[in-house]
Structure 1
Amino acid sequence: MTKSLKIGQILYTNVLPVYFYFEQERFEDRIEFIRQVPAQLNAAMAQGEIDLGPISSFSYAEHASEYVALADLSVSAKGRVGSLFLFSKKPIEQLNGSRIALTNTSATTVNLLKIVLHKFYEYEISYVTQEPVLEEMLQEADAALLIGDDAIDAKRRGGDLHVYDLGELWHQFTGYSMTFAIWAVRKAVLAEHGSLLADVHASFLASKEKTRQHTGPLIDYVLAHFGGDREEWTRYFQGLQHDFGDEQRIGLEYYYRCAAELGLLPVPATVDIWQAGGRQTNTTLTR
């Protein structure tokens, strides 16, 4: 009997539009959802414990020879994201030489922060990685990076810290969109699950489009489970992009090039796209 397709799901609200109307009952025991934070999903995909799902864009680059990306699915933003924040005791202009605590749940945003501070601000920074608890992170650090719902909760609590949106900083310096996660599939499972994968991909795309057309039920769900207010969540989801077209690709490839320039990646990655009926290989950037 063919094993089920193991599908990852990030434990953050930013991926909900792709899953909210997903018709899981259609697939009975043919699929299994595994819900984890990004860093855990990255490791599970790399170890072959998950067949497909949203992983950090940086992790995709690290394993580009083993993965392909599902067409037209991502977590991206052009400017403000609303869930990727640097919380700082002092203005960012005064952070040179500082110590910054990084969440242990991220890969893409951690390296995005390093690109912003080292390439664009030309700062020297020391880093420590910790559990995503803001108060503990700031005990011995000048600033702390949080992502996802941890960041949203910390921002909601307020305080007198300086707060910087990483998507906004990236767009300020580059003018580009930034893609934080892409739906990847391990090449090793394509032959076995090609037909099922096409159906799953179509269901993801349908959920994304239905959520775009009917946001009310999604907002109601998030309010009931995560608190906040309707205007806050409506603005948040309106600021996110779940497509992956040329605009998102260009921004992500520039991010990969910046990462390679800083030695965070050995070379810029090629994003290889899978879609039902065939694969499309994209042009490799060179340094």
Structure 2
Amino acid sequence: MTSELRYAVSVVPEPERAEGDAHILRVGQIKYTNALPICHFLEKNDPDIEYYPGAPIELNKWLAEGAVDVGLVSSFAYAEHADTMVALRGLSISSGGPVGSIFFFSKRPLEELDGCTVALASISASSVNLLKVLLAEIGVTPTYITREPNLPEMLEEAEGALLIADQALYWSLQDHGCYVYDLGEEWYRRTGHNMTFAVCAVPKRLLTANPEKVRKIHRFFLEGKRKGLADMDEIVREAQRMLGQSESFWRNYFGNLIYDFNEELAAGADLFFEKAHRHGLLEKPAKVELWGDEE
């Protein structure tokens, strides 16, 4: 991997809101390695499909505003808009234990962080709130600050730092002297449930106005996932091209992730939402509404 990773805000112009366009499919595309098995083989040459790659926090905003028709968005962002969104069956980024790319780096054990400063990555929603839930559940109340995702800079101001995706992968392999907590593993150990970090969501208004377009979206993403999981050799090569590391590293990493989404996984997401609401992170209760037939 390179010695330093930094992310631009967007690699394409921000999409403009355009209601009622039945012809063009506007896809918000997450740009991290963890989404490769779903997104790498999505059709790129169809003139009726426009892609808007972005960080999770950008995709969350675009989908909520109607600037894109569909996207892999943070599960927490879905919860914030659960009354206006559905989650497409069979599509998520989840884990049943270690997730391998959402790490909390801390100068001291979790239980000793009460009253300390904790730095949060500026590009996340689910992971940020998962950390807040986990700390609240053990009675720890730090002061949170939000910073760009660079571990040394974050730890200059804080006792702990949360990183996600490719930044988390990179710094987990460096010599930093911190305690390192995998949030997927911490969640599973404390609850016995899977953790869903991202779901493929579409607005209910689009489902009402153009159900055939939503069915097309669903088939489109399921086919991308089918191709990705059937050709993990190519997925691993692409991950190596993006971030280096060995073939075995990436096979182990992708092997820890779950790309399905069903009632069992939704139950874990619902528990996360319930705890987030209990600790004042969600304004109102939320539950997953699954839509579509995976077949």
Same fold (TM over 0.5): yes
Matching residue's letter, 2:96? K
Q: Which runs of 5+ in 1 are unaligned?
A: 278-287
Residue 2 (structure 1) shift = 4.1
| SS at 1:128 equivalent | strand
1:66 is aligned to 2:88? no
Q: Deviations over 1:64-98 (max 9, x none)?
A: 12211111111100110010000111222322221
Between the aligned partners of 1:200 and 1:186, the Cα distance in structure 2 is 12
Residue 192 (structure 1) shift = 4.7
Match of 1:216 in 2: 233
TM-score, normalising length from structure 2? 0.88
Between the aligned partners of 1:44 and 1:213, the Cα distance in structure 2 is 30
Kindly indicate whether the alpha-carbon contact (under 8 Å) linking 1:253 and 1:268 is maintained by their aligned counterparts in 2.
Answer: no
Match of 1:207 in 2: 224
Among 31, 34, 39, the residue aligned to 1:19? 39
| SS at 2:38 equivalent | helix
| SS at 1:139 equivalent | helix
Match of 2:193 in 1: 176
Instruction: Quote the sequence identity (%).
Output: 40
Residue 210 (structure 1) shift = 2.9
Between the aligned partners of 1:230 and 1:72, the Cα distance in structure 2 is 26
Between the aligned partners of 1:42 and 1:276, the Cα distance in structure 2 is 24
Match of 1:32 in 2: 50
Q: Deviations over 1:224-256 (max 9, x none)?
A: 221111111111101000111122111100001
Among 243, 252, 265, the residue aligned to 1:235? 252
1:135 is aligned to 2:152? yes
Among 93, 96, 113, the residue aligned to 1:75? 93
Q: CA RMSD in A?
A: 1.7
| SS at 1:72 equivalent | strand
Residue 274 (structure 1) shift = 2.3
Match of 1:96 in 2: 114
Between the aligned partners of 1:3 and 1:53, the Cα distance in structure 2 is 17
TM-score, normalising length from structure 1? 0.91
Greater than 6 Å deviation, 4+ residue runs = none
Among 60, 66, 69, the residue aligned to 1:42? 60
Among 205, 223, 242, the residue aligned to 1:188? 205
Residue 129 (structure 1) shift = 0.6
Kindly indicate whether the alpha-carbon contact (under 8 Å) linking 1:55 and 1:182 is maintained by their aligned counterparts in 2.
Answer: yes
Kindly indicate whether the alpha-carbon contact (under 8 Å) linking 1:257 and 1:267 is maintained by their aligned counterparts in 2.
Answer: no
Kindly indicate whether the alpha-carbon contact (under 8 Å) linking 2:269 and 2:288 is maintained by their aligned counterparts in 1.
Answer: no
Between the aligned partners of 1:158 and 1:73, the Cα distance in structure 2 is 35
Residue 189 (structure 1) shift = 2.1
| SS at 1:86 equivalent | strand
Between the aligned partners of 1:135 and 1:159, the Cα distance in structure 2 is 8
Residue 3 (structure 1) shift = 4.4
Deviates more, 1:156-165 or 1:130-139: 156-165
In the TM superposition, 1:240-251 aligns within 5 A as 240-251=257-268
Q: Which runs of 5+ in 2 are unaligned?
A: 1-20
Between the aligned partners of 1:273 and 1:6, the Cα distance in structure 2 is 21
Deviates more, 1:157-166 or 1:172-181: 157-166
